[in-house]
Structure 1
Amino acid sequence: WIRYAGLDGKIVYESSGSEKFRDAEALLIRRKQGVKEGKQPHIKRIANYTFGQLAEQYLEWIKGRQASVNVKRSVISKHLERYANIPLRMFTTAVVEQLQSELIGKDYRNAYTNKVLRVLKGMFTKAVEWDYVEDETLRRVRKVRLLREDKHLRYLSIDECQALINACSPYLRPIVIIALYTGMRKSEILNLKWSNIDLANNLILLDRTKNGERREIPINATARNALLTLPRRLDGGLVFSKPRTGKPVRNVNVAFNLACKRAKIIDFRFHDCRHTFASQLVMSGVDLATVSSLLGHKHIAMTMRYSHLAPAHRAKAVEILDEALNGNYTKTIQSGVCR
């Protein structure tokens, strides 16, 4: 904090918005120079907002803007609610690092720990935009580095896919089939409505996706048959709802983990169904650009994680060049390999 006399002679106390002495000193020099020049400093007054007030406003703001609202609500409720009565300006790098350490100590995956911190950082970014807190607090929160994530991809073989489907309860089976045969995210499946499904053209049309862009997903025969086994709502409502109450399904983790146990499949999460979809496509020779489009990736760099699964196809591409350069170019084209 700095202290100086304003044009009217009254003592002014002002936060420098920094923990560094030189920053406070530089601000004090600017303020005194302004007073000498006859300028009354304009000080932005920020109310003493609490984290609970920010959380309430943030959750209201992301409604309709982000498809991950339920995920973020869950993160805030499970890990951040304890900060509800703490003023935002009290958040320091140490507070955030302590949260990170606690999550690591509870054996959460690095990816999940990073997800919690990303939610927190996103909230403080909006807090600065809304003048709930000063920039320095955001800098302190952002200072905490994310953990290195395990990039290992877990995907199922063809036989394992069938074993998992067979092990599912009748209620869970169509959900898992849609996941394996379309590559849709869990939130996209559980929020899927009949009004999003065009059976005449075998398409699923998603308006609200993770990256905010519209996506068309082709339905193959297996996925179509799974949908046809379900009772169709005339109002175009949810495809998957609780059998007894008709209410939305929030999660299927318990039933899914039980199915994996029955099928003797270990270390496999629901999201890995999406990895299985992409991995099997790449290993079947589908190009990465097409896989990227089907997954709804905003950038193909996200799809490159699957590129190592296609070494045989890269070798085949080089063989095509070998045939072409050795005078077999016409034969190669006629075989339908080169397009």
Structure 2
Amino acid sequence: MANLTKRMVEGLQALDRAYDVRDAALRGFLIRVEPGGTKSFFLDYRFAGKRSRFRLGIYPNLSVDGARTVAQAIAGDVARGIDPQARRKAERIKAARDKVSTLKAFLDARYEPWAKTHLKSAKFQLARIRSDFADHLDSKLSSLNTFAIERIRHDWKKAGMKPRSINRDIQRLQSVLSRAVQWGVLEEHPLKGFKPMKADKTGRVRFLTAAEEVALRAALEGRETKLKQARIRFNTWRIARGKAPLPERPEDLVDHLRPLVILALNTGLRRGELLGLRWGSVNMPAKLLTVTAATAKSGHTRRVPLNAEALAVLTAWHERQGRPGDDKFVFGDSEGERMSRIDTAWRSLVATAGLKDFRLHDCRHHFASKLVQAGVDLYTVKELLGHSEIAMTERYAHLAPDNLASAVAKVSGL
């Protein structure tokens, strides 16, 4: 056995199997020749009673003298109680962490791919995080600590944001940071122990008065009349110019909006559940609608009975669409794909109806409110709405005044 030199290493030939050539002067220092001709420098060493092999580099990218110098340094580390394998692993972990150390980098490289696979509302959630924390996208994840977020929360509150909205926006960030901890990007959650603001647990419950419901229904019918008249005027214009007219609008259910709103008012389905509903989930003979786990916010399948109005509008809409197959969306777009937005049509509708601060989601509140006011117990309302906890349904309890009044009457001394 001799010392490894440039001439010796260059003279080593590949064989049918890999073999090692060891250096005579430096214990553990060797070069390994692979059958394909690759020559790699290694250092064999023993640490904590365990034999290990540390790769130094490939020849000729790393010279013999350079490899010897590196091997001597590593041998010195081992003598001082430093495991080079553990150190290299730690360096790689740090390098990987550094690549996604900022909020923007982590969102782009790690969180967004995961969210698109696991979150139904991924696009919305990511947009809100990037918008809400736009001034902090270049901040280190570890710097988004209690002190920093407390300052953000203070500014939001000063700007007039409500506690529930502030809590919800910060919870999105907390979820991102929790994933960073889970995936080893952060060692500890920087918002550990951060408490949400105190907020009214009842939350926003906006439902229609009797007059508002009449106005909304009238606006739906008036919209369809206007759309039919607009098509007639447009076809008159086309015919006058020698162009073929477009198909006339049907007499009823001109487009998706009226059946969608009527169904929302009578079933309490969420927006995503409405837009994700397929005809295969509508059992008209049984007067039953199934919200599948894939579209339900809770991730659990539930069944909602169809009352007379809901059944009638779905039956008419099914006929209007030419009796599509079970795999088709009930409210698909012009290409038959899942609709993504109905905001423009909805805003125009509520403006025509003269409704203030009424969202599509409030049709769900309206459905629940009517149930409670009709004397339906909260547990049944919970099941129909698909709430995971009864506490979410209790926000409607105050809408049952007769029940509250009867309870108070029991303690009367008169």
TM-score normalised by the chain length of structure 2: 0.59
Q: Does 1:184 align with 2:275?
A: no
1:275-297, CA deviations, whole angstroms, 9 ceiling, x for partnerless residues?
A: 11111111111111111110111
1:88 to 121, 133, 141: 141
Contact 1:185/1:271 (<8 A) preserved: yes
Counterpart secondary structure, 1:205:
strand
Distance 1:293 1:129, change over 3 A: same
Distance 1:90 1:298, change over 3 A: same
In structure 1, the gaps of 5 or more residues are: 1-6, 9-37, 322-339
1:52-101, CA deviations, whole angstroms, 9 ceiling, x for partnerless residues?
A: 34324223324454433343133134334554443322323344344435
Take 1:147 and 1:314, find their aligned partners in 2: how far apart are those partners?
26
Q: Does 1:175 align with 2:260?
A: yes
Counterpart of 1:59? 112
What fraction of aligned residue pairs are identical, expressed as a percent? 32
1:86-125, CA deviations, whole angstroms, 9 ceiling, x for partnerless residues?
A: 3322323344344435544665554333222111111111
Counterpart secondary structure, 2:304:
strand
Worse overlay, 80-89 or 261-270: 80-89
Contact 2:206/2:362 (<8 A) preserved: yes
Q: Does 1:157 align with 2:209?
A: yes
Give 1:261's aligned amino acid: A
Higher relative contact order (CA 8 A, sep 6+): 1
1:257-291, CA deviations, whole angstroms, 9 ceiling, x for partnerless residues?
A: 32222222212222221111111111111111111
1:10-29 aligned at under 5 Å gives the runs: none
Counterpart secondary structure, 1:204:
strand
Counterpart of 1:249? 339
Contact 2:163/2:198 (<8 A) preserved: yes
Contact 1:197/1:203 (<8 A) preserved: yes
Worse overlay, 261-270 or 54-63: 54-63
Counterpart secondary structure, 2:190:
helix
Counterpart of 2:316? 229
Distance 1:234 1:99, change over 3 A: farther
Counterpart of 1:239? 330
Offset at 1:155? 1.0
TM-score normalised by the chain length of structure 1: 0.71
Give 1:269's aligned amino acid: R
CA RMSD of aligned residues (A): 3.3
Contact 1:278/1:306 (<8 A) preserved: yes
Distance 1:203 1:69, change over 3 A: farther
Take 1:116 and 1:264, find their aligned partners in 2: how far apart are those partners?
30
Contact 1:190/1:250 (<8 A) preserved: yes
Worse overlay, 118-127 or 220-229: 220-229
1:212 to 280, 296, 299: 299
Counterpart of 1:15? none
Q: Does 1:277 align with 2:328?
A: no
Give 1:158's aligned amino acid: A
Offset at 1:210? 1.5
Counterpart of 1:333? none
1:160-181, CA deviations, whole angstroms, 9 ceiling, x for partnerless residues?
A: 2232132134442222112111
Take 2:301 and 2:326, find their aligned partners in 1: how far apart are those partners?
22
In structure 2, the gaps of 5 or more residues are: 1-46, 49-80, 225-255
Give 2:327's aligned amino acid: G
Counterpart secondary structure, 2:303:
strand
Contact 2:268/2:385 (<8 A) preserved: yes
